[in-house]
Amino acid sequence: MEPSLLPSLAWFAHIAHHRSFTKAAAEMGVSRAALSQNLKALEQQLNVRLLYRTTRDMSLTEEGQRLLDELQPALGSIERAVRNVGEAHAEPSGLLRVNTSRIAAKMLVEPHLAEFFARYPKLKLELVMDDGLANIVADGCDAGIRPGESLAGHMIAVPITPMLEMAVAAAPDYFARHGTPVTPADLVQHNCLCYRQTSSGAIFRWEFTTPDAEGRPFVVEPQGAFTTNDDDGMICAALQGVGLIQHMEIAVRQHLAEGTLVRVLQPWCKPFPGFYFYAPSRERMPAKVRALMAFLIEKRELMSAAQAGVRAGTAKGKSHKRAPRPPRRPD
């Protein structure tokens, strides 16, 4: 294609859109005469008439309408490409609304707020806490954070955590008093702390996978004396020795490292897709959305390295120390 045709084709599209040389010239910041001369030159180059012009009216010829129909999508793509290039170098700014579960907000976003705002001082961030599955477009949010296994297929999503695991844990003195479950079937003899889901009102069922080659998933209905819809409240009760909890391992990792909680049934808890940052479309993604996405991906790499270090340390400890015998269950 002759590159010199591109400006003339864009000018023709403006004239056809306004059906007026005067309005098109005013929008483009050129004289009416220059626009008219340019169109005549284009018609001569294409050897076709594009417009019917009178002193009072203007209309497209059949060839002009056909050319406009072909041009509009192409010019739209060029405009989007230019805008995306410009946004790539623009400083992220404005309000960014993100729909997220409470646990994802607490573990993945809130610990890094100071660093995020220091890096992007023109951004404002609003976290919309919602433990259910939300329609971010209908809710007026720019993006969302959810486990990968629960995302709609049409969303653009990137992982912001490594694979995660559920952990069953309790305080050491709880096991000293009640014994240690060896399989999920033993949980019927234990006080299992229950989490009531805010969105559905249902009690969260504990999820397990058989440790054999088949790896069959199944669930257990927890039964216990304490029910809450607050993650921190459930962990607090477990730390006091009230009962067992099942929670994402990252939420109790520090307590496990300190020994204030002890993990059990680990072979029955298989890894699952972690949290994803998702948005309606990668096309024309605002700079503010890309900024948070890149920031959380950066934190994912640090989390993966830390997780690998914890596993390596655990494996090394196991190779040098005999595993402690579980407390005997009282007769």
Of the chain, the percentage scoring pLDDT greater than 70 comes to 82
Of residues 127, 126, 78, the one with CA closest to residue 105? 127
Q: Is residue 201 part of a domain?
A: yes
Residues 9 and 76 in one domain: yes
Residues 292 and 213 in one domain: no
H/E stretch holding 15: helix 5-18
Q: Is residue 320 part of a domain?
A: no
Q: Residue 219's domain is classified under what CATH number?
A: 3.40.190.290
- Final residue in a domain of this structure, among 62, 88, 114: 88
Residues 203 and 288 in one domain: no
- Final residue in a domain of this structure, among 88, 115, 142: 88
Q: Is residue 328 part of a domain?
A: no
Q: Is residue 323 part of a domain?
A: no
- Final residue in a domain of this structure, among 219, 252, 270: 270
Residues 257 and 172 in one domain: yes
Residues 111 and 66 in one domain: no
pLDDT of residue 105: 93
Of residues 160, 162, 161, 180, the one with CA closest to residue 170? 180
Residues 171 and 261 in one domain: yes
Name the pLDDT band for 331 (thresholds 50, 70, 90). Answer: very low
Q: pLDDT tens, 62-105?
A: 998 998 888 888 887 777 676 666 555 578 999 999 999 888 99
Q: Is residue 247 part of a domain?
A: yes
Structural domain that includes position 252: 166-270
Residues 137 and 185 in one domain: no
Q: Is residue 326 part of a domain?
A: no
pLDDT of residue 85: 63
Q: Is the pLDDT of residue 9 over 90?
A: no
Q: Residue 107's domain is classified under what CATH number?
A: 3.40.190.10
**Tally of structural domains, the chain:** 3
Q: Residue 49's domain is classified under what CATH number?
A: 1.10.10.10
Residues 81 and 223 in one domain: no
Residues 147 and 172 in one domain: no
Q: pLDDT tens, 142-168?
A: 999 988 765 655 668 899 999 999 999
- Alpha-carbon separation of residue 127 from 79, 110, 141, 324 (angstroms): 32, 10, 9, 43
Q: pLDDT tens, 105-137?
A: 999 999 999 999 999 999 999 999 876 666 676
Residues 202 and 222 in one domain: yes
Of residues 110, 101, 108, the one with CA closest to residue 160? 108
Please, which residues have CB within 8 angstroms of residue 193's CB and are 6 or more apart in sequence?
222, 224, 226, 227, 228, 234, 237, 238, 242, 243, 244, 245
Residues 149 and 183 in one domain: no
Q: Is residue 241 part of a domain?
A: yes
Q: Is residue 203 part of a domain?
A: yes
Residues 192 and 151 in one domain: no
